[in-house]
Structure 1
Amino acid sequence: MSLPPERLERFARHIVLPEIGGAGQVALSRAHVALIGCGGIGSPALQYLAGAGIGRLTLVDSDTVDVSNLQRQTLYDPAGLERPKAELAAEWVRRFDPALDVRAVTSRIESRNAADVIEGVDLVLDGCDNFATRLAVSDACVQLRIPLTSAAIGRFQGQVANFAGHLSDSACYRCFVGDAFDADDCDTCAEDGVLGAMTGMVGSFAAMHAIRILLGGITALGDPQWGRLHLIDGLKPGMRSLVIAKDPECTACSGR
């Protein structure tokens, strides 16, 4: 598969990078990514995934736009208030690059339907705002052998990691948080506050981390860093990393 001239021109700055090149850009154009959550993290993540030429995008969010979202959710403006985020995000993609195939899913993703929503994708990027959804998505990724990029934010701290729990030596997201968070018990931005630029930093880093997976084994961009959790401190600022070990008792990926 080759890219037509107009696509070569659009992605010229990628193609000249030895770590991506023409082969990498073709791989991105053939990739299918599901984005869970089109909010503070999802907005910049989607903008950079679309900017990278990801060929197919499935956008999942059951929420509608509220005026308080506009401080950080860069896909939206006052004209979109009360409209479904996933639909508005899909409209943005179609305006930005009509060559991309995009689908909006406005139903809430839960354990009963997570596998149906993400089946057939090459990668899931999860930037949603509750543990119940995160665990449902992670468990479905393990079941379907789909890599997961997980990104979260709390006040001035961000967390980004790539998980491949279907691999025998790699942790899943449930290995990280355990079984204690199957209910909707996350702290929220409304309660704790969030700086808009911080969500941009985390969402952009998540998009970069997702691209690492999509180009794994194709280009020299770098390894996916499975199970390595990157902690981003927006106050210092700084970043440190730690490795999440596979839990032999994990109910999702231990194989028991």
Structure 2
Amino acid sequence: MGAQFTDDEIERYARHLVLREVGGPGQQKLKAATVLIVGAGGLGAPAALYLAAAGVGSIRIVDPDVVDLSNLQRQIIYAGADRGRSKVDASAERLQGLNSNVAVTALNQAFDDTTADALLDGVDLVLDGTDNFAVRFSVNAACVQHGIPLVSGAIGRWTGQVGVFGRKPCYRCLVPEIPPDAETCAAVGVIGALAGVIGSMMALEAIKLITGAGETLSGRLLIYDALAAETRTVRVAGDPDCPVCGQA
């Protein structure tokens, strides 16, 4: 282990190293991994913090937005002094301060069909926490094309969901078309702590995928009702007519 980790890293990750499901080999996998986080908002913020703390070797964050005062109710990676700053620049600074062993790349741009290939180059895993269905569809299609696992999260009001998608079923099997009544947090509101719950779940699924620990939510969707304090998990079936992963 000494050749792989410094004494500082051994102490930093001590609670991981004693876990049977992670240990030295799992921590090495985390250090070798490159993760792309699409969206540095309510879900991307806690997910990024926990992945950096966990020792993911390379984190890329893509988001074209700047920090707004209304973000601070749930986007805990930012401080009041970050208002008006690029979200990815402020995020990168915070993550480097949390763990200098992690290489953080700030990508102040949008994720779309024209930028997807470059953004996914060399990436092992993608986390999508955006609240825009067009972006979600673009991220999913790119992940299917490149064979990269996708951890997807969403929140609104008091309800959140997390799923893990691969080549089949993919996210479009769950959401074939953009819902005509799609809601945004700006329109319907969201309880701030819910972002922490779902974003942390996304980070947890990412860590499990990278280390091979336990059973992931692959092919399943976990739905959390915060008002009722209840969770349920449903299976996501592959759609043979899916426009992304279905058979022609």
Is TM > 0.5 for Structure 1 vs Structure 2? yes
How far 1:129 moved relative to its partner?
1.1
Q: Among 180, 184, 188, which residue is 2:184 paired with?
A: 188
Distance in 1 of aligned mates of 2:130 and 2:158: 17
How far 1:100 moved relative to its partner?
0.8
Query: Matched residue of 1:34: which SS?
Result: strand
How far 1:34 moved relative to its partner?
0.2
How far 1:24 moved relative to its partner?
0.5
Q: Among 155, 164, 172, which residue is 2:170 paired with?
A: 172
Specify whether residues 117 and 186 from structure 1 end up closer, same or farther in structure 2 by C-alpha distance, changes over 3 A only.
farther
1:54-108 Cα deviation digits (max 9, x unpaired): 0000001111011011111101112111111011101111111111111011111
How far 1:179 moved relative to its partner?
3.0
Native 8 Å contact 2:165 2:218 kept in 1:
yes
Q: Which runs of 4+ in 1 moved over 4 A?
A: none
1:151-203 Cα deviation digits (max 9, x unpaired): 000111101000012xxxx300011100345x9x7411111111111110110
1:137-163 Cα deviation digits (max 9, x unpaired): 000000000000000001111010000
Instruction: Check if 1:242 corresponds to 2:244.
Output: no
- After TM superposition, the structure 1 stretch with the greater mean CA deviation from structure 2, 234-243 or 91-100, is 91-100
- Which blocks of at least 5 consecutive residues in structure 2 are unaligned? none
User: Paired residue for 2:69?
Assistant: 67
Q: Which amino acid aligns with 2:205?
A: H
Query: Matched residue of 1:6: which SS?
Result: helix
Native 8 Å contact 2:221 2:236 kept in 1:
yes
Distance in 2 of aligned mates of 1:223 and 1:2: 27
Give the 5 Å matches for 1:48-197. 48-165=50-167, 170-180=168-178, 186-197=182-193
How far 1:212 moved relative to its partner?
1.2
Distance in 2 of aligned mates of 1:179 and 1:190: 21
Query: Matched residue of 1:241: which SS?
Result: strand
Native 8 Å contact 1:115 1:141 kept in 2:
no
Query: Matched residue of 1:117: which SS?
Result: helix
Instruction: Check if 1:209 corresponds to 2:205.
Output: yes
Query: Matched residue of 1:161: which SS?
Result: strand
Q: Which amino acid aligns with 1:130?
A: N
User: Paired residue for 1:32?
Assistant: 34
Q: Which amino acid aligns with 1:197?
A: A
- After TM superposition, the structure 1 stretch with the greater mean CA deviation from structure 2, 106-115 or 54-63, is 106-115
Distance in 2 of aligned mates of 1:207 and 1:189: 21
TM-score (norm 1): 0.93
Distance in 1 of aligned mates of 2:18 and 2:208: 17
User: Paired residue for 1:225?
Assistant: 217
How far 1:255 moved relative to its partner?
4.0
Identity %: 44
User: Paired residue for 2:13?
Assistant: 11
Q: Which amino acid aligns with 1:215?
A: T
Distance in 2 of aligned mates of 1:150 and 1:223: 16
Cα RMSD over matched residues?
1.4
User: Paired residue for 2:194?
Assistant: 198
TM-score (norm 2): 0.96
Distance in 1 of aligned mates of 2:199 and 2:111: 20
- Which blocks of at least 5 consecutive residues in structure 1 are unaligned? none
Distance in 2 of aligned mates of 1:92 and 1:225: 29
Native 8 Å contact 1:55 1:101 kept in 2:
yes
Distance in 1 of aligned mates of 2:234 and 2:185: 25
Distance in 2 of aligned mates of 1:96 and 1:225: 28
Distance in 1 of aligned mates of 2:4 and 2:120: 27
